[in-house]
Amino acid sequence: MIPNITKGDRMAGLLVYLAGPGRYNDHVDPRVVAGDPTLTAWRTESALDRDGAFAVARHLERPRRAYGVERVWDGSVWHCSLAIKDVEGELSDEKWAAIAHDFADRMGLTSDDAPCRWVAVRHGASTNGHDHIHLVATRVADNGKIYDTYRDQPKSQRVARALERKHGLLRLESRTVNRGDRGYKPAEKARADRTASPEIDRTKLERTVRACAAASADEAEFVRRARGAGLRIRPRFAPGRKDVVVGYSVALRPPKGEKEVPFGGGRLAKDLTLPRLRADWPDTPEAASAAVAEWQAAHAGRRAVAPGRETSEPGPELWERHTVEVGELRERLREAPDDDPSLWAHVARDAAGAFAAWSNGTEESPGPLAATARTLASSAQLPAHMMRPRPAGLPSARGAAYLLATAVLGRGPSLQAMLLRELANLIKALHDAHQAMGEVQRAGQIAVAVRTQLPQVTAGLPLADAVRVADSEAETAARLAGQGQAPLKAPRTRPATETARPDRRTDGPGDKTIER
């Protein structure tokens, strides 16, 4: 369940909107499902029309008017929507009423110290099909005190987690394991629609930056690659300095009539901040000065200072070496502990970088490679404090990103197929690790990506059979994760390179239940 708090001053405006047809003409049968006792004692009917909305607003606002409170800092109207995922279906009004009462109680709206008047309105699912309610409260309590909104958003998340358990709702793994992706704002979506682009700018930026970072051997190369990929990348210098870079921002070249919107690295994804990127690059004085030179060139809009290996194409021996390296990483991970989120985040980031680089090189518009990269990147979104340095001597899949950044589909397809096979095995290991860590939804998303996205990639490559890594277990997880995918029709063959890991497997589908 996702709570979203907004605050304002226009109680009647809000309630009339909730009772009305909605912005997208999507409100169905607006009704009051719950409210505080003073409301339900007075109002017995549940349907909410325009007049009813005004009446309810008048009732909720009565304490504010009675005490002559003209303005409350941060808004006198507290509004929180509570939404569940579309795959959970629709709850009954009674269930929502119980959830609303619990939520209001635990958020302190009903405390004896400052009891606030509130109402919960429901009007069908959102345009994306997510069932939800709106909880509207006045912040002026019956005794004239003001409801304290200090840190109400973190609190609402904690309450939502508790209510998920209490009411048997789908639990948000992104929150419980602290692995949330960055969300997007309606304005970003509107811009994508306006410019008829297949995805929002930030998604494209994230993938491109991820690809450039993964394919680069040092920071200077990253800057050159990003500029070469057509990004407007700018350094953020330390205050008063022009030779110390502490961060960066990137933007796409805006189409005519649109403004350039830059995003800081950390706004694209948690693992794309400059300090986190630097952790993968050599930390030497030479590399640092080369990087500063490139950053300054980017800042001033000059040409790249010292073009490096990104301008040349890797030879077959490099393909072989880096492919073997991915295999070695996979081997090393067999002994790796499952309960090490940091390690697996590193692995996920490596793999996501490789697919992002491949997507950038070969896909005109975002396709299966981009989707796979995005799914894998979600596994790398640990907050900085949970990350530990990469274990020393751990092989890396970053060489693969380097190769794939220059790969052109159709050229050297057998080399690509071999590399893809190793990467697919790596994804499988990641999937298993998620499952061992109890993150069934995450594992399910990866399984879906493997089943639906990778076959589209392998179709163009030889050795297509070798990369079919999805097995019945992955399918079970995917189904349990509620992704609503159709079952596979073609029989799956286990790849020859895939070896079973009995220590990680649970016994059968019956053992895996979604955590509720």
Partner 1 sequence: MVLAEAQHVTVPRLLVESTLSGQAETPTQRHHAMADLFGLQRLLAGLSGDLERVESDAEVPRLLAAVRELVGRIDEAIDGLSPA
- Cα separations (Å) of 367 from 43, 198, 414, 452, 482? 53, 10, 21, 11, 23
CA distance 444 to 442: 5
Stretch binding partner 1 (CB under 8 A), from 39-47, 272-280, 437-445, 485-493: 39-47
Which residue from 41, 300, 392, 490 is in contact with partner 1, where contact means CB under 8 A? 41
Stretch binding partner 1 (CB under 8 A), from 33-41, 85-93, 271-279, 304-312: 33-41
Look at residue 423 and give its three-state secondary structure.
helix
Measured from the CB of residue 99, what is the shortest distance to partner 1 in angstroms? 18
Based on CB atoms, which residue is closest to partner 1, 68 or 316?
A: 68
Based on CB atoms, which residue is closest to partner 1, 65 or 302?
A: 65
For partner 1 (CB under 8 A), the number of binding residues is 17
Tell me if 115 contacts partner 1 by CB under 8 A: yes
DSSP annotation of 146: B
Stretch binding partner 1 (CB under 8 A), from 34-42, 185-193, 417-425, 451-459: 34-42
Based on CB atoms, which residue is closest to partner 1, 61 or 219?
A: 61
The interface with partner 1 within residues 137-156 (CB under 8 A) comprises 142-144
Handedness of CA 106, 172, 340, 504 (dihedral sign): positive
User: What order do you get walking across the sheet with 2-8 strand by strand?
Assistant: 2-8, 77-83, 132-138, 118-122, 31-35
Based on CB atoms, which residue is closest to partner 1, 115 or 314?
A: 115
Which residue from 38, 195, 197, 406 is in contact with partner 1, where contact means CB under 8 A? 38
Determine the residue type at 514. Answer: I
Based on CB atoms, which residue is closest to partner 1, 40 or 497?
A: 40
Contact pattern from residue 61 through residue 80 relative to partner 1, giving x for each residue in contact according to CB under 8 A and a dash for the rest? -xx-xxxx------------
CA distance 258 to 201: 12
Q: CB neighbours of 490 closer than 8 A, spacing ≥ 6?
A: none
Determine the residue type at 450. Answer: V
Stretch binding partner 1 (CB under 8 A), from 58-66, 259-267, 321-329, 395-403: 58-66
Measured from the CB of residue 512, what is the shortest distance to partner 1 in angstroms? 42
Tell me if 102 contacts partner 1 by CB under 8 A: no
Q: CB neighbours of 270 closer than 8 A, spacing ≥ 6?
A: 182, 276, 380, 381, 382, 383, 384
Which residue from 8, 42, 258, 286 is in contact with partner 1, where contact means CB under 8 A? 42
Measured from the CB of residue 36, what is the shortest distance to partner 1 in angstroms? 8
Based on CB atoms, which residue is closest to partner 1, 116 or 288?
A: 116
Across-strand partners of 81?
4, 134
Tell me if 94 contacts partner 1 by CB under 8 A: no
Q: What is the largest CA-CA distance in the chain?
A: 81
Determine the residue type at 37. Answer: P
Tell me if 37 contacts partner 1 by CB under 8 A: yes
Tell me if 54 contacts partner 1 by CB under 8 A: no
Q: Exposed e or buried b for every residue in 330-359, given b needs 16+ CB within 10 A?
A: beebeebebeebebbbbbbbbbbbbbbbbb
Rounded to a whole number, what is the distance in angstroms from the first to the last CA of the chain?
12
User: What order do you get walking across the sheet with 245-251 strand by strand?
Assistant: 232-237, 245-251, 263-264
List contacts with partner 1 (CB under 8 A): 36-38, 40-42, 59, 62-63, 65-68, 115, 142-144
